[in-house]
Every structure is written in C-alpha cells, then in structure tokens.
Structure 1
Amino acid sequence: MNATETRQRMLQEAEKLYSEHGFDGMSLRTLTSDAGVNLASVNYHFGSKKELVMAMFQERIMPMNEERLERLNKAREAGNGVASLEGIFDALLIPVAERAQVNGVLDMHFLKMVGRAISESDDFWHELFIRNFQELSKTFVEALAEALPDLPREDVEWRFHFAVSSMLGTLVKHGQFARRMQGLGRSTDIESMFRRLRDFLCAGFRGQVEAMR
C-alpha cells in the first residue's frame, strides 16, 4: 500500500468511525487497526486526530462547494449577472442532495457525519466553518443581496443563516420526515424534499422584501 492509498484508507475509516461515534468517541487505535496501518501513519499524514477529521470533511466538502460555485456562476450568467433566488438556492442545495445518496440509496455515513458535526462543540464547528464554508457563505450572501437589493444586508445575512440551518435540519432529520410523510402517502425522496425547501426559502426571502414596502 503506497502513501496515497494509506492516506485514503485512513480517511475512509475515519468517516465510518466519526459517523458512528463523533470526534471524542472516535478511537485512533480502532481506526489504525481497521485501516491496517500504524499510529505513526496518522501523525505522518495528518499530524493529529483533529487534522485527520478536518481532512476527512474536506474530502467531502470541497468538491461539493466547487459544484455550488459553478452552479451559482451559471445562475448569474442566466440572469445577466444577477441570479434568481431559485437559481441561488438550487446552487446551494442540489449538490448536497446529490451527495446524500449513492446510486439512489441514502448515504447514511454522510448523513450521520453531518449530524455529528452540528452537534460537536462550538469550537469544533467554528473551525470547520472557517476552513470550509466561510468564503462560500460570503459568496452566497452577496448573490442574495444582489437578488434582493431592497432587503437590508443584516437581514440577508440572518435569512441565510436560517436557510442553512433549515438545510442541515432537513438533511439530518430526513429519515424522520420520510417516515412521517410515507404515512400520509407523500413523496419522500431527498430531491423532492429539497425542491420544497428551495421554494420555502425563496418565499421567505421574498416575503421579507414585500413586508418592508
């Protein structure tokens, strides 16, 4: 097993263990045993347990964020420089929905990873945000401000915070929502749930502008 394979094996095992146990409960002894490597390999490739977990998230998040920015740029081009709200939230949500499943089946590791992350300490979540989401958030807030020039910037930022919180809650609680909706004979696939979330968020942003006029 070469260095690249060793690193990838550790990231894969880290994802499994983190999704089940979170950061504090994740054992490096178990990880190295399951990955077939020694503890020195963790230190060599990552330097620490925290950096291993941060790298694990980056493997998942960065390709998704790149797609989000590509979709947002296309939405801006389609709107002659100003993206529609639907285009903005499609860019934010669709890449998440795509990565929440593999071959049409929910990726439970991914869903559990998200759930674990948002339940970690404030310091852990803050560092994860700074590394992976801070610049992305600024870009999306700017796009929303362009789309809604009458909405004060502070309100745009708060509404975006609420939008992201709704996205995370919908993602993590998808199983509970699905069981509830199935009992009512409703569609429960994650794409349709996110389309409904997009429409809800767009209506919320527009409603704030109308209320201020």
Structure 2
Amino acid sequence: MVIRSNAEAANRKPNLREAILAAAEELFATNGFNAVSVRDIAQAAGANPGSVTYHFKTKDGLLLEIYRRHCGPMNLRRSELLAAALRVRDLQDRLEAIVRAYVLPAFSSGSDLAGGGARFTRLRAVMSAEGNDVARRIIAQTFDDTSHAFIDAIYASLPHIPRAEIVWRCHFLLGALYYSLVTPERVSRLSRGDADGTDAADAIEQLVRATVAALQAQPLDQLVPSRARSARVKH
C-alpha cells in the first residue's frame, strides 16, 4: 500500500487549488463564513480536507486568499483611476471622476477571474452582515487603505463637508454598489422594463450621478438649526 504525503495528494490535480477557491467562494457567499466547514469545502471541490489545509492552512487563510485574488486587481485599478482623477482641475469634474474611479472597477471586472463579479460581491455583503471577527479583520486589511484614500480625495474636493459626513455618504455608496451588482433584476422589474438592471454602463452612470449629488448635499449641522427654528414657529 502506497501512502502519499499531503503535498503529493494536493498536486495530483493541477486545478485542485482553483477548485477549492471556487467552492469556498460559492459556499461562503451562500451560507456565510461561520456555517461552512473545511470538510464542506473539500467535498464541494472534490478534494480531501488535507488538500485544503495544505494549500491554505486554515479556513481563515482561504477567505483571505479569496479577498486577495479579487481585491488586489480591483484596488490597483481604483488607485490608478484615482490618481488620474486627482489631476482634473475643475472641482465638480474632479469629484465625479473620483466617484467613477471607485465605482467603475467593481463593474468592469465583473466577468474576470479576479476583481469583481456578482458572486464575490454577494460574498462581501454576506461577510459584512455576518459580523465575523475574522471577516472584519480581512475586510479592514483589504480595503481600509484604499477607502481612506478615496475619502480624503473627496474631502479635499468638498472641504466644507465634515469628513465624518463624507464617511457616512461613502458608506451608503458601498451599500448601493453591493445591491446594484447582486440584484440587478429588481431594477428591471420595478421599472416595468423601462430600465435594464443588467446594463452595467447605465448602472455606473446612475450610481455616479446619485452619489455626487448626495456628497454635495448640505451638511447636517447646517440643517439642524433651521429645523429647530421651524419647530419653534409651529409651536
């Protein structure tokens, strides 16, 4: 009887590593991180649990690799587009270019192996909602630097808006981005066919325009006094 080492077993299939990544991504996107075991992933990939641990050490390492392979190219593209946007002189045009630099890579790489796609976007939404500490750490490690760069760029274009409010508005942008990518059919249904939710170019333009308008809205601290005055008048 020949006993193979984990390394030999893992290398029997050249595409086994990719199969494990694809299976894990699908399972995490469908069931969340907590509910999926290494054994579940191995079974879905047609592998044994030893192959998963050989390639990725732990389930945490597997999730980190999924984020790296998708978000590395996406963050790089965002950084390139942001650098170009910051060279735009007109502040209005610059703000629009900054927002577009954030939105565009999530759509344009949707069919690529790495960088985007509805399945990974669904996984990101599930990970964010699940509140798992591992996922929180990986999300922060993957996105915080890029997010700070975009928030700072927007703040420089809208210095009269408190940075904390810009953070809120960018937070809403992220939610809209998730929803637009994961449930495009809802746009088609609710518009009764007048809009095509799967039209990426239209989705990008709608999202960019709505976000720019939201970013330029009057700061909340300037609205509160007027509301208070209105309330006093009514009484």
TM-score by length of 2: 0.75
From 13, 30, 48, the counterpart of 1:20: 30
Tell me how far apart the structure 1 counterparts of residues 97 and 69 of structure 2 sit (CA, whole Å): 25
- Supply the distance in 2 between the matched residues of 1:7 and 1:144 (Cα, whole angstroms): 40
Give the SS at the match of 1:96. Answer: helix
CA distance in 2, matches of 1:79, 1:152: 22
Matched, 1:72 2:69: no
**Residue type matched to 2:194 in 1?**
G
Quote the sequence identity (%). Answer: 25
2:201 pairs with one of 191, 194, 202: 191
The answer for the alignment partner of 1:47 in structure 2 is 57
How many residues align structurally?
A: 209
Matched AA of 1:123: D
State whether residues 28 and 123 of structure 2, in contact with CA within 8 Å, keep that contact through their aligned partners in structure 1.
yes
My pick for the range that moved more, 79-88 or 9-18, is: 79-88
- Letter of the 1:56 partner, please give it: I
Aligned partner letter, 1:185: D
CA distance in 2, matches of 1:195, 1:80: 19
CA distance in 2 between partners of 1:94 and 1:140 (Å) = 14
User: Offset of 1:86 from its aligned partner?
Assistant: 0.8
- Cα 1:137–1:111 change in 2 (3 A) is closer
User: Where does residue 4 of structure 2 map in the other structure?
Assistant: none
Q: Aligned to 2:160, what secondary structure does the other structure show?
A: coil
Structure 1 150/185 Cα, relative in aligned 2: closer, same or farther at 3 Å?
A: same
The amino acid that maps onto 2:82 is L
Distance in 2 between residues matched to 1:147 and 1:205, nearest whole Å: 10
Hey, what does 2:165 align to over in structure 1? 155
* Residue 167 (structure 1) aligned with residue 177 (structure 2): yes
Shift, 1:131, TM fit: 1.4
Q: What amino acid sits opposite 1:43 in the alignment? A: T
SS in 2 for 1:168: helix
Residue 54 of structure 2 aligns with an amino acid whose one-letter code is: Y
C-alpha distance 115-176 of structure 1, shift in aligned 2 (>3 A): farther
> How far apart are the structure 2 equivalents of 1:83 and 1:58?
31
Residue type of the partner of 1:9? A
1:84-107: CA deviation from partner (whole Å, max 9, x where unpaired): 1111111110111123346xxx95
Alpha carbons 2:21, 2:66 under 8 Å: kept? yes
1:1-213 paired onto structure 2 within 5 Å: 1=11, 5-79=15-89, 84-101=94-111, 107-181=117-191, 183-188=192-197, 189-208=199-218, 212=222
Q: Is the 8 A contact 2:128 2:136 kept in 1?
A: no
The equivalent of 2:5 in structure 1 is none
In structure 1, C-alpha distance between the alignment counterparts of 2:181 and 2:122, rounded to whole Å:
10
- Which is greater in Rg? 2
TM-score (norm 1): 0.82
- Higher helix content, 1 or 2: 1
* One-letter amino acid matched to 1:176: R
Give, as a single letter, the amino acid of the residue that structure 2 aligns with 1:63. P
Counterparts of 1:120 and 1:142 in 2: how far apart (Å)? 28
**1:127 is aligned with what amino acid?**
R
Q: Is the 8 A contact 1:93 1:167 kept in 2?
A: yes
Q: How far apart are 1:155 and its partner, in Å?
A: 2.0
Unaligned runs of 5+ in 1: none
Q: CA RMSD in A?
A: 3.0
> Which stretch has the larger CA shift, 130-139 or 35-44?
35-44
